[in-house]
Each structure stands twice: as structure tokens, then as C-alpha cells.
């Protein structure tokens, strides 16, 4: 008989104890298998998610790069357009200044001519009133001498620059 303090080897244990132990080992082994399977599925899901995120990052980077390139091209085009517009504006400013000077000279001449013609017409009318026949004599007709005389009669020195400018327009 075996000593009292010693237990029987597992093969010699009773059928119920061995069955419980095997059942416990089987449950532990099944649990380990489930855990391994869960870990494998988790790793696969994580790997797929990482691939999805990497693809998304690449897609967004490509989109961002394309957008940046488009914006840079548009920016360059707008800068070029701005330079061209500024050049055109400078040309138009110089053209306006030139036209202003030309018009100023023309308006001065036109004003003087109109004023002289009015003076000459008044002189002719006055001469008609003086001559009952109504036929102006040669010296009273509109001639360059009458125009020059009416120019001399005008005194531009009395007018300030603003009045002269308003009459020109």
C-alpha cells in the first residue's frame, strides 16, 4: 500500500477526479484557442485598418498636392495678370495725361475762337444797326483783324485758374 501522505499518480486517480481534471484542461485549452483566434482576428482587423488609413493618407496627400499645384498655378497666373494690368494702367494714365494736355490746349483755342467769333458777330450786328441798308461794309465783316482785336479785348489776367478751367469744359 502506498504511503499515506502521498497522493496517487494521475493515472491512478479516481475516474471522477481525472475526468474533472481533463475537462478543466480541455476548457483551458479551448479558452486559449479562442484567445489565440481572437488575437489573430484583432491583428488582421488592425492590419486592414492601418492599410485603409495609409490609403486614405496617400489619397489625401495626392489630392492636397494636386490642389496645391493648382493653387500655385492660379496664383502665378493672377500675379502675371496683375503685372499686365498695372502696365496697362500706367499706359492709360500716361495716355490720359497726354489727352488732358491736348484737350486743354484745344479747349483754350476753341474757347478763344468761340469768344472771338461772338465778338465779331456782335460787331457785325452793331455795324448793321448803324448802316440802315443792312449790308456790312468790308472792314466790319468777320476778318482776322476783328478776331485779333477781340482777343486783345479779352483780359485773361483777371480770371483765376479755376474760372478759366470751368469755362474750358
Residue range 2-27: mean pLDDT, rounded: 66
User: Taken in order 155, 156, 160, 166, is the CA torsion positive or negative?
Assistant: positive
> What grid cell was written down for 59?
489619397
Residue-wise pLDDT tens digits, 79-129: 999 999 999 999 999 998 888 888 777 776 666 677 766 776 776 666 655
Residue-wise pLDDT tens digits, 28-67: 999 999 999 999 999 999 999 999 999 999 888 888 888 9
8 compared with 41, residue with greater pLDDT:
41
**Domain locations along the chain:** 14-168
Residue range 1-29: mean pLDDT, rounded: 67
Amino acid at each position: 500500500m502506498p504511503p499515506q501522505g502521498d497522493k496517487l499518480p494521475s493515472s491512478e486517480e479516481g475516474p471522477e477526479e481525472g475526468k474533472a481534471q481533463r475537462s478543466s484542461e480541455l476548457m483551458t485549452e479551448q479558452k486559449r484557442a479562442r484567445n489565440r483566434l481572437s488575437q489573430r482576428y484583432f491583428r488582421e482587423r488592425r492590419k486592414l485598418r492601418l492599410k485603409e488609413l495609409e490609403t486614405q493618407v496617400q489619397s489625401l496627400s495626392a489630392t492636397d498636392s494636386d490642389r496645391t499645384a493648382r493653387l500655385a498655378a492660379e496664383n502665378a497666373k493672377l500675379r502675371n495678370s496683375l503685372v499686365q494690368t498695372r502696365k496697362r494702367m500706367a499706359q492709360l494714365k500716361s495716355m490720359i495725361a497726354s489727352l488732358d494736355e491736348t484737350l486743354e490746349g484745344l479747349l483754350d483755342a476753341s474757347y478763344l475762337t468761340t469768344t472771338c467769333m461772338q465778338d465779331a458777330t456782335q460787331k457785325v450786328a452793331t455795324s448793321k444797326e448803324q448802316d440802315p441798308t443792312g449790308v456790312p461794309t468790308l472792314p466790319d465783316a468777320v476778318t482776322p483783324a476783328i478776331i485779333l482785336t477781340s482777343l486783345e479785348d479779352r483780359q485773361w489776367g483777371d480770371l483765376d485758374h479755376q474760372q478759366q478751367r470751368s469755362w474750358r469744359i
